[in-house]
Structure formats: C-alpha cells, structure tokens
Amino acid sequence: LRQVKDDELKARILFALAKNELERSYKGQYYFTGVGDLPAETVNYFNQLVQYKETAFYKDACTYCKYFDDYVSR
C-alpha cells in the first residue's frame, strides 16, 4: 500500500482489506447487527479509505456496500 502512487488503487486495496476482514469474521460465525459491531480491522481500513473520498471507487463503495455507506453516514 505504501508503494502505490495511484489513489484509486489505494482505495481499492483498502476496501479489499476491509472486506477480507468482514469475510473472516463471518466465517467465525460472528454476525453484525450494525456499524458498531464491525471488526476493529475493518473499521481501521474504512477510516483509511475515507481519506480517498474524492476517488470514483470511494463513491462506488458507498453505493454498493451497505456497511461502508452506513459507516460514512453516521
């Protein structure tokens, strides 16, 4: 991530990392009832992703990912 210069790619990487953490938590039979229940690593990646709110990918993530949209809307 530190070596990437393109903000669009950084946004995609951060989102992929956050989604991976969500999937790992689901496999552990942990269910989320809301944004407050998100795994700490997912929140960490979402926090970093907010830095790239000017990218097209950020806007797509808000449109297609309910958890991320709820996270940034709170």
By the 10 Å C-beta count (0-12 exposed, 13-18 middle, 19+ buried), 11 is classed as buried
| pLDDT one-digit tens code per residue, 21-51 | 888 877 766 666 678 888 889 999 999 999 9
If DSSP states are collapsed to H, E and C, what string results for 23-41? HHHHHCCCCCCCHHHCCHH
Task: Express as a percent the part of the chain with pLDDT over 70.
Answer: 92
Considering the entire predicted model, what is its pTM?
0.87
Whether pLDDT at 12 is above 80: yes
pLDDT (mean) for 7-13:
97
Tokens of 16: 């992929």
